[in-house]
Amino acid sequence: MRDDKTKILILVEGKKTDVRLMQRLLMLYGIDHKHEIVSYNTSIYTLYNEMFRDNDPEYYDILQVLKEREKDENRKRIFDEEYSDILLIFDFDPQDVQYDKDKIIQMQEFFTESSDMGKLYINYPMVEAFYHMKSIPDDEYMLRITTKEELKSGGYKKRVHVETIGSDYKKFAANRTECNIVIKQNLEKAFHIIGMKSSNIETPSLNEIIEFQTNIYERENWLYVLCTCVFYIVDYNPELIVDAGIKVKA
């Protein structure tokens, strides 16, 4: 458990859905006062171009990269502060014209430590995966997928809006008990994807997940719906979801 002096920066991709989701998660678990949420307002592939394409990312300070691209002088001050941890919450978005399997794997393998360069959580295919459950729990969630055709046509977001509980994101996982179940189901699905089982509250290898998801997408034109940003709650403190019906890893 981090101490009360901890200050954590969360970089999210979009201005609305991403920000609201992370605000809700942090509030439900009582840790919102320790975090600063900032919208990057563009895709993970733009971040790749700024840090990786022509440079060795080891020589870059991500806070300075963010500060240089920020046009609002008031927001620039955010990146001058000191943070104990940095989180990056982005969409997989394989329908993006800049999508490249090797690029996104390189980023996932680089951003692995929140207290160093930052830790990257990729949602498959996008942040709306969090809401893609017809009930809580949802017995069909383990096998829920999306296809290249659906993503290319822009149909995935529309399907989530129709299939999410009450067709209203505000009604989804509105309390901590329901959110615990959502986290648990995503954990179970992630371990299933990489061919493992876990009876403890722990997070799976994000590197193994992206290897599987990119391979299946390129070979068979589909991928599993999966929300990994919720894994941060477990990484922060697994005790927060002990009532989800799983034992805490010793």
Tell me which DSSP letter residue 11 carries.
Answer: E
Helix (H) or strand (E) holding 112: strand 112-113
pTM, to two decimals: 0.92
- Alpha-carbon distance of 31 to 144, in angstroms, equals 30
- Alpha-carbon distance of 115 to 119, in angstroms, equals 8
The pLDDT tens digits for 194-216 are 998 776 668 999 999 999 999 99
Question: Residue ranges of the domains in the chain?
Answer: 8-244
Say which residue the tokens 């997928």 belong to: 145
The pLDDT tens digits for 163-184 are 999 899 988 999 999 999 999 9
User: What is the average pLDDT value for the chain, to the nearest integer?
Assistant: 90
Tell me the mean pLDDT in the region 85-102: 95
- Alpha-carbon distance of 122 to 91, in angstroms, equals 5
Phi-psi region of 68 (alpha: psi -120 to 50; beta: other; left: phi over 0): alpha
pLDDT confidence tier of residue 248, bands split at 50, 70 and 90: very low
